[in-house]
Amino acid sequence: MKRAAVSAVWCFLATGLFGADAPVELLDIDGKVHAPLHASDRKATVFVFVSPFCPTSNTLTPEVNRIAAEYAHQFAFYLVEADSTISAGDAKKHAETLEIKTTVLLDPKQLLAKWTKAKITPEVVVLGRDGKTLYQGRINDLYTTPTKKLKEPTTHDLRAALDSIAAGKTVEIPLTKAVGCLITIVP
């Protein structure tokens, strides 16, 4: 009974915290404060949940870099370290090792993962200006299971979603299944 009450309170707080005008602020790996839910000059905000401990996530980082570079003029991009225990120093080392080119946010309380219901690294959540989820799921279909991958992806889900949003259209497939490593959510 207590757990249900706590869940109801969390949902109420999350709705209030993460509305379109939410003042959510997170630090990046350099200690700079970001309000990632405020991308008023962009069509949407792209969150990519990552982990330095997930080979699937690390393998897809170059593609995330390419996508972020190509779409940065229309979308705000953030990589979110999904592991609540990762230090800023370790996250920075991860970003440097993989040559991550976009802002990496630390979310030690996993507020974004909890609110968006992200469960996998890498998993993408694209939020519209109003805070509604426009797309959630995989970057592409390179991985068929966490340990089995194709030679090349055949479906580029994130790119297709961003192209639709940029054109002012509804995303044709707004939810796909992300493949990778489970995010351990801390209560």
Task: Report the candidate in 54, 48, 73 with the shortest Cα–Cα distance to residue 139.
Answer: 48
**Are the C-beta atoms of 102 and 31 separated by less than 8 Å?**
no
End-to-end Cα, the chain, rounded Å: 16
- What pLDDT sits at residue 147? 86
Q: For the residues 54-64, what does the mean pLDDT come to?
A: 95
Per-residue confidence at 162, pLDDT binned at 50, 70, 90? Answer: very high
What's the mean pLDDT when you consider all of the chain?
87
Predicted pLDDT of residue 37:
82
* pLDDT, tens digit (0-9, with 9 covering 90-100), for 106-126: 999 999 999 899 999 999 999
Residue 104 host element (H or E): strand 103-106
Res. 1 pLDDT band, cuts 50 70 90: very low
Element (H, E) at 7: helix 2-17
Contact 122, 48 (CB under 8 A): yes
Q: Does residue 40 register a pLDDT over 80?
A: no
Give the DSSP H/E element, type plus range, for residue 111.
helix 111-116
Decide which of 6 and 22 is more confident: 22
**What type of residue sits at position 4?**
A
CATH code for the domain defined by 2-182: 3.40.30.10
| pLDDT category of residue 152 using cuts at 50, 70 and 90 | very high
Q: How confident is the model at residue 48 (pLDDT cuts 50, 70, 90)?
A: very high
Residues 89, 173: Cα–Cα separation, whole Å: 37
Contact by Cβ (8 Å): 138, 121: no
Q: Which DSSP symbol is given to 170?
A: P
What are the backbone angles phi and psi of residue 112, rounded to the nearest 5°? -70, -40
Model confidence band, residue 150 (pLDDT cutoffs 50, 70, 90) = very high
